Amino acid sequence: MTISGQPSKTDVERIRKSIATDEPIPYDANDPDDGPYDPNDDDAVDRFLTEANLVRPAPKAAKPRISRAS
């Protein structure tokens, strides 16, 4: 059961079976909804996560504007 009281729609047994058999994750490089890297390629995943965790400061505005209430 979920918090709302409705039964879960997740097929837990299918998920456990796919993990146990190390089933590859479906991925289509031509589909933009599938993401920026192949989740089955360990090197691509590591490279993406290494680059994605970089924190850079936001650039400062050339002329900051101050808003005034009317």
CA separation for the pair 60, 20 (Å, rounded): 50
- State residue 62's pLDDT score: 78
Give the global pTM.
Answer: 0.48
In a 13 Å sphere around the CA of 25, the CA atoms on its Cβ side amount to 11
- Give the 3-state secondary structure of residue 37: coil
pLDDT in tens, 7-45: 777 888 888 998 899 889 888 988 888 888 898 999 988
Residue 34 is predicted with a pLDDT of 85
